[in-house]
């Protein structure tokens, strides 16, 4: 005769067998929900998440395949059409060099979004690694990493970009990304450090340590999954900031440089002609504003979903 006694898991939680579960009404059965499940459930109810998500998906698509909606060449210019307004087949008009503003606005998403995404990935990985190690081990490593991050915090990122990129004189996506990662990781490191310190004080981490779990297992299995939420929130919001920073550096002439196509470059070239040809400035500046707004909206939605205190 089968034993109908409830089974017990390794954590001491009683798990009813099939016969016992069958006697419980379906409406009274509780489902185990994870943080990710709760976050997705909350996100799925927010119109702001869908609006920002669709905008970002569209931007990523045109960044990868700009020819889908723009068949022209962003570097093909005709001085005879300099500063001309919208015409048939050229809805955004032409810039000072006679280049199609619509085509350059579409192709400008590639480098601008690429710099933002690569910088976010690099700064998040480096900052999470250093901040996580500082928070977990403490002591000398915590003091050292905190001191180094404070030094970087003392450098204004815009002023540092003007000085660094003026000396390097690279003007490529890789150079701009490298600089922004070097000055962007301390923010993520500080968030990761605090999240790891909070997570390692939880009872389940202490129990794992008492059972003989090594540092690597505790970091990867118990601490990291519970410290990711604030890091994801900060990284998502920072992505829009990095795109804006790249445009600012390109506007000042130290970021991306021609023949690269960037919204910051186009805004810089159009700023002197805002009275004569405002369309040159309107479209790249509008594309930049919408992109930054979309990532900030997504970051706000993710923050609200991942922060239990806001529920």
In this prediction, residue 119 carries a pLDDT of 94
Q: Is residue 170 part of a domain?
A: yes
As for how many domains the chain has, the answer is 1
Going by their DSSP bridges, the two strands 7-8 and 14-15 should be labelled as: antiparallel
In this prediction, residue 5 carries a pLDDT of 40
Q: CB–CB of 95/266 below 8 Å?
A: yes
* SS3 (DSSP) at 8: strand
In this prediction, residue 32 carries a pLDDT of 52
Nearest to 173 by CA among 104, 242, 237: 242
For residue 289, give its domain range.
Answer: 35-61+99-310
In this prediction, residue 18 carries a pLDDT of 44
pTM of the model: 0.80
Bin 89: left if φ > 0, else alpha if -120 < ψ < 50, else beta: left
In this prediction, residue 293 carries a pLDDT of 92
> CA distances (Å), 143 to each of 126, 149, 150, 193, 199, in order?
17, 10, 10, 12, 19
> CA distances (Å), 169 to each of 38, 161, 165, 180, 252, in order?
47, 11, 6, 15, 13
In the chain, which stretches have pLDDT less than 70? 1-36, 170, 307-311
User: CATH code at 185?
Assistant: 1.10.3720.10
Per 3-state DSSP, the chain is made up of helix, strand and coil in percentages (nearest 5) of 70, 5, 25
Q: What token pair was written down for 50?
A: 């869908």
In this prediction, residue 224 carries a pLDDT of 81
Residues 251-271 have pLDDT tens digits of 988 889 888 899 999 999 898
Q: Is residue 160 part of a domain?
A: yes
Q: Is residue 111 part of a domain?
A: yes
In this prediction, residue 307 carries a pLDDT of 67
* SS3 (DSSP) at 90: strand
The residue written with tokens 């979903």 in the block is 305
């Amino acid at each position: 005769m089968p034993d109908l006694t409830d089974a017990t898991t390794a954590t001491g939680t009683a798990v009813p067998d099939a016969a016992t579960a069958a006697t419980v009404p379906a409406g009274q059965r509780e489902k185990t929900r994870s943080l990710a499940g709760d976050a997705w459930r909350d996100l799925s109810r927010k119109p702001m998440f869908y609006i920002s998500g669709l905008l970002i998906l569209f931007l990523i698509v045109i960044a990868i395949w700009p020819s889908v909606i723009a068949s022209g060449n962003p570097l093909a210019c005709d001085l005879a059409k300099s500063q001309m307004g919208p015409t048939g087949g050229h809805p955004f008009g032409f810039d000072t060099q006679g280049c199609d503003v619509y085509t350059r606005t579409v192709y400008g998403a590639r480098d601008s979004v690429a710099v933002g995404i690569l910088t976010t990935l690099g700064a998040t990985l480096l900052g999470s690694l250093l901040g996580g190690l500082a928070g977990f081990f403490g002591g000398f490593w915590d003091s050292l990493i905190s001191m180094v991050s404070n030094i970087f915090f003392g450098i204004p990122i815009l002023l540092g970009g003007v000085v660094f990129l003026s000396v390097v004189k690279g003007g490529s996506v890789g150079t701009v990304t490298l600089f922004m990662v070097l000055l962007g990781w301390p923010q993520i490191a500080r968030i990761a450090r605090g999240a790891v310190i909070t997570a390692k004080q939880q009872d389940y981490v202490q129990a794992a340590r008492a059972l003989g779990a090594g540092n690597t297992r505790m970091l990867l299995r118990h601490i990291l999954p519970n410290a990711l939420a604030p890091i994801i929130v900060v990284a998502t919001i920072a992505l829009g900031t990095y795109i804006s920073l790249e445009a600012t550096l390109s506007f000042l002439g130290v970021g991306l440089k021609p023949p690269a196509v960037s919204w910051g470059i186009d805004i810089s070239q159009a700023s002197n002609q805002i009275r004569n040809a405002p369309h040159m400035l309107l479209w790249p500046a509008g594309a930049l504003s919408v992109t930054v707004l979309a990532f900030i909206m997504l970051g706000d939605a993710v923050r609200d979903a991942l922060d239990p205190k806001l529920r």
